[in-house]
Amino acid sequence: MSDWEKTVDEAWVREIARIACLRLTEDEIAEQTVQLRQMLAALDSLREFDTREAWKNAAVETDALREDVVERFARREELLAAAPAREGDFFRVPRALEREGEQNG
């Protein structure tokens, strides 16, 4: 058994889903665990691929950077209107900080 096989179980996938901000059902966790193990098994031969020589020769491509000038986006209202919830000129989100003295359920 290789080391990732010991790592990749349902508890670990549940933690990955938490990091990815993705709520999954128990069935989905089970399915994703199987699929992730299959993928990692397929990727094992990639790891043995010796490309140090190739990497050494890697060229850096030139990017087309524009001048660093501040521009005001003229369509502020439409940006706000595209949000699921807004309040005046703000995006509305659930409270991120607890009020002093308030306990979270």
Partner 1 sequence: MADPLSIEVLIQRLETGACSARELTEECLERIRRTEPLVGAFLAVDESGALAAADASDRRRREGRLLHRMDGIPFAVKDSFCTEGLATTAASRLLEGYLPPYDAEAVAALRRAGCVLLGKLNLDEFSMGSSTRYSGLGNTRNPLDLSRVAGGSSGGSAAAVSAGEIPFALGSDTGGSIRQPAAFCGVVGIKPTYGAISRYGLIAFSSSLDCVGTVTSTVAGGATVLELLMHRDGRDATAVGHPALASLRCVNDGVGGMRIAVMEGIDGETPAEEVRAQVRRAADCLMAAGARVESATLPSPGQALLSYYVISAVEAASNLARYDGVRFGNAMEGFTPEERAAATRGALLGKEVKRRIIQGTALLTGLLRERYEPAARHAREWIRLEMKRLFESFDLIVTPTVPMGAFGLDESLTPLEMREQDLSTAYANLAGIPAVSVPFGRDRNGMPLGMQVMAPAWQEARALRAARILEEVEKG
Q: Which residues bind partner 1 (CB under 8 A)?
A: 3-4, 7-8, 13, 16-25, 28, 32, 35-36, 39-40, 42-43, 45-49, 51-52, 54-55, 57-58, 61-67, 75, 78-79, 81-85, 91, 93-96, 105
Based on CB atoms, which residue is closest to partner 1, 61 or 89?
A: 61
Based on CB atoms, which residue is closest to partner 1, 69 or 100?
A: 69
Smallest gap, in angstroms, from Cβ of residue 43 to partner 1? 6
Identify which of 22, 16, 51 has the alpha carbon closest to the alpha carbon of residue 36.
16
Smallest gap, in angstroms, from Cβ of residue 80 to partner 1? 9
Q: How many whole angstroms separate alpha carbon 32 and alpha carbon 24?
A: 9
Based on CB atoms, which residue is closest to partner 1, 84 or 101?
A: 84
